[in-house]
Chain A
Amino acid sequence: MADLAQATQQRAARTRWLLLAPALVILLIAASGPLLITLVYSFLTPGDYGGVEWQFSVDAWFNVVMQRDIFDDTLGFSDAHLSIFARSVKLSLMTTVLCLFFGFPTAYFIATRPKKQRDLWMLLIIIPFWTNLLIRTFAVVELVRNEGTVNTLLLWLGVIDAPIQMLYTEFSILVGMVYVYLPLMVLPLYAAMERLDFSLVEAAYDLYATRFQVLRRVIVPLVKPGVVAGSILVFVPSLGAYVTPRVMGGGNQLMIGNLIELQFGQGRNWPLGAALSITLLGIVMLALLLYVRAAGSEEPHRG
């Protein structure tokens, strides 16, 4: 009798794996295949006009952070690459913080509306998602350019007497990225806040907690998983952003994504592009690990 039950269970397990197999195989090929090609390419020699030559070389990896001066052949850190990495990390962190700053009150506002209204508010957050990323970015360009809406309005009001140069600066990249990635912060925050038991907030007030104390001691710890999820969802794509810095940065405020594209285009150095891509992947994984550890260490505290 026990044997029969075990056999049935085994069969069920086997069926489950068989049914899952097609999806798993596709996932394995689609996820690791391109990554493997990228890894192999990063150890090859660049072709004269793009592409790769099948000759082993570690030059690409060397060139990620180091470079040989073309004039006096001295070895030094690759100033260009390092400053682009630094800019990418800095802008992504700032984007994450600003998204949190704007996203948190937004999500809180929505979560505290009557149940019927919430769907409408969420719809308003999601609608921009239905629009192409490029179009949303160009809409921001229209706002911040010299003859754009903001400058025209400020000039008309007499606040300024010459347009402020906002487009093609780090500021405009930041505005663009915050606008584009904000929904990715609001959605998980809202999901966490919707589950929040507001009787706990009331209890805190009953116990004479100030508004700030309620926020810090009750709400924030309870929605922390949402904060972490939202931050990851914003930080990771920000780091690899391509379109927004391309359009808002005017081609001389590169981020990692643009630097990688440059290697596959005008730079004609595919191995370097591949090595940079894997470096980007490494930075993202490092960031994720830090997040996971930060989130994990707080766990007992909550319990």
Chain B
Amino acid sequence: MTKTLATTAMFLALAAPAFAEGELNLYNWGNYTSPEMIEKFEKETGIKVTITDYDSNDTALAKIKAGGHGFDIVVPSGTYVPIFIDEGLLMESKPNEMENFSNMDPQWVDVEFDPGRNYTVPWQWGTVGVTVNTSVYDGDIDTSAVIFDPPEELKGKINVTPEMNDLMGLAIHYVGGEQCTADKEVLKKVRDMLQAAKPSWISMDYGMIEKYAAGDVAAGSNWNGASMRARAKNADISFGYPQEGYPVWMDNAAILADATNVEEAKTFLNFIMAPENAAMLSSFARYANGIAGSEEFMPEDMKTAPEIVVPAELKGAAYVARTCPPEATKLYTAIWTELQK
């Protein structure tokens, strides 16, 4: 009897904190969540956060659709938010009624993928451009030609991020089309151009920050923040904004429809809308965040970074990435599979 009591007491003592303070399972892109911010969140709220990584929107979509994942929050790109909503995977958690919502930069409130922000909260936003190691090639890098028609110095040293929508967007604009086009004339040019470029690529992979820094790859398509983090390790790394057109994207945190820790998840969404906390996300991942007033908490080097401040003459080349209709996506997938074989 005594033994049973003792065991029960011990069990309760061990289990109690977990029950009392709650937990939160965050499903996010790899190497994207500021550990300092999570630590601060855990300290302030007592909620224990577990982070699981994914490397592409499609991986996240497939895993969440399959069910039984146990995650509470996911961070899809804007182009995937409508898909997540249409498939009934996100909870209408009304971030627009949360305490810290007033901090959101007005230009990111009425976005095409979630008008008025009924589902999502900005995580980070940035651009897709080209990263070049200028000690290998010191010509003009504000062009997609770096990856699609590379100079001799870069051939065989190029990595292309296997993010289909971004890459097809860059490629379509490079041959003079518009994003999401299903025009077969244009797509044929895209296919031929990509097939001709592929032999110059050494890999199509994610997670290249270390490899750029170490010189394993010398150029490639990349996200601006990832490029900036590579530059922090190797001063020769530069980021170019393709004058032919380059996508602007935003990743957004949202609560999953089948989340088990809903209150904790709401607390988290509200937490990352506080300028101070959003700034912590940015200083880790090195992208802008869509929360007004966060700038003053950001490190000095980010305010002037060439990866963040777009040169005036290249601002016009940016386009906000949209969700392409299934008939276009089908054609893109065919071109893409052929490319990856």
A interface, CB within 8 angstroms of B: 48-51, 70-71, 79-81, 83-84, 145-147, 165, 167-168, 250-252, 254, 262, 264-269
A-B contacts, 5 of them at CB < 8 A, read: A70-B335, A146-B216, A165-B156, A250-B204, A267-B333
Most chain A Cβ neighbours within 10 Å, of B164, B198, B333, B341:
B341
Most chain B Cβ neighbours within 10 Å, of A71, A79, A264:
A71
* A254 CA to B58 CA, complexed, in Å: 18
- B70 at interface by CB-CB < 8 Å: no
- B138 at interface by CB-CB < 8 Å: no
Do A251 and B83 touch across chains, with their CB atoms under 8 A apart?
Answer: no
* A254 CA to B198 CA, complexed, in Å: 14
- A-B pairs, top 5 by smallest CB distance, nearest first, are A250-B203, A251-B204, A80-B341, A265-B58, A266-B58
Q: Which residue of chain B has its CB nearest to the CB of A145?
A: B216
Interface of B is mostly: helix
Do B56 and A252 touch across chains, with their CB atoms under 8 A apart?
Answer: no
* A254 CA to B204 CA, complexed, in Å: 11
Do B338 and A50 touch across chains, with their CB atoms under 8 A apart?
Answer: no
- B62 at interface by CB-CB < 8 Å: yes
Interface 1/0 per residue, B165-180 and A, CB below 8 Å: 0000000000000000
- B107 at interface by CB-CB < 8 Å: no
Contacts of A250 in B (CB 8 A): 159, 202-205
Across the interface, A79 reaches (CB within 8 A) one of B326, B340, B341, namely B341
Do B335 and A251 touch across chains, with their CB atoms under 8 A apart?
Answer: no
Do A265 and B62 touch across chains, with their CB atoms under 8 A apart?
Answer: yes
What is the minimal beta-carbon distance from A53 to any residue of chain B, in angstroms?
A: 12
Q: Which residue of chain B has its CB nearest to the CB of A84?
A: B341
Across the interface, B333 reaches (CB within 8 A) one of A146, A165, A251, A268, namely A268
* A51 CA to B88 CA, complexed, in Å: 13
Given contacts A48-B326, A50-B62, A51-B65, contact A266 B203 (CB under 8 A): no
Interface 1/0 per residue, B59-101 and A, CB below 8 Å: 1011001000000000000000001001100000000000000
State which size class the interface on B falls in.
35 or more
Q: Which residue of chain A has its CB nearest to the CB of B185?
A: A71
Contacts of B331 in A (CB 8 A): 70
In the complex, besides A145-B216, A168-B202, A252-B341, 5 extra interface pairs with C-beta distance below 8 angstroms are A48-B326, A80-B341, A250-B202, A266-B58, A267-B333
Contacts of A71 in B (CB 8 A): 184, 187-188, 191
* A251 CA to B87 CA, complexed, in Å: 29
Across the interface, B61 reaches (CB within 8 A) one of A49, A146, A147, A267, namely A49
* A4 CA to B112 CA, complexed, in Å: 83
What is the minimal beta-carbon distance from A167 to any residue of chain B, in angstroms?
A: 7
Across the interface, B65 reaches (CB within 8 A) one of A50, A81, A147, A262, namely A50
Contacts of A147 in B (CB 8 A): 214-216
Contacts of A265 in B (CB 8 A): 56, 58-59, 62
Contacts of B215 in A (CB 8 A): 146-147
- B162 at interface by CB-CB < 8 Å: yes
What is the minimal beta-carbon distance from A60 to any residue of chain B, in angstroms?
A: 14
What is the minimal beta-carbon distance from B98 to any residue of chain A, in angstroms?
A: 28
Q: Which residue of chain A has its CB nearest to the CB of B337?
A: A80
What is the minimal beta-carbon distance from A100 to any residue of chain B, in angstroms?
A: 29
Do A251 and B341 touch across chains, with their CB atoms under 8 A apart?
Answer: no
Given contacts A70-B335, A254-B340, contact A165 B62 (CB under 8 A): no
Contacts of B56 in A (CB 8 A): 265-266
Interface 1/0 per residue, B312-341 and A, CB below 8 Å: 000000000000001001010111111111
Contacts of A50 in B (CB 8 A): 58, 61-62, 65
Given contacts A49-B61, A49-B83, A71-B184, contact A266 B341 (CB under 8 A): no
Contacts of A49 in B (CB 8 A): 61, 65, 83, 86-87, 326
What is the minimal beta-carbon distance from A275 to any residue of chain B, in angstroms?
A: 14
* A165 CA to B65 CA, complexed, in Å: 39
Contacts of B27 in A (CB 8 A): none
- B249 at interface by CB-CB < 8 Å: no
Do B216 and A266 touch across chains, with their CB atoms under 8 A apart?
Answer: no
Contacts of B202 in A (CB 8 A): 165, 168, 250
* A120 CA to B83 CA, complexed, in Å: 56
Do B216 and A251 touch across chains, with their CB atoms under 8 A apart?
Answer: no
What is the minimal beta-carbon distance from A55 to any residue of chain B, in angstroms?
A: 15
* A80 CA to B336 CA, complexed, in Å: 11
Across the interface, B203 reaches (CB within 8 A) one of A48, A51, A83, A251, namely A251
* A71 CA to B190 CA, complexed, in Å: 12
Most chain B Cβ neighbours within 10 Å, of A81, A254, A265:
A265
Across the interface, B58 reaches (CB within 8 A) one of A51, A84, A268, namely A268
Most chain A Cβ neighbours within 10 Å, of B83, B86, B205, B215:
B205
* A80 CA to B203 CA, complexed, in Å: 17
Q: Which residue of chain A has its CB nearest to the CB of B204?
A: A251
Q: Which residue of chain A has its CB nearest to the CB of B86?
A: A49
Q: Which residue of chain A has its CB nearest to the CB of B59?
A: A265
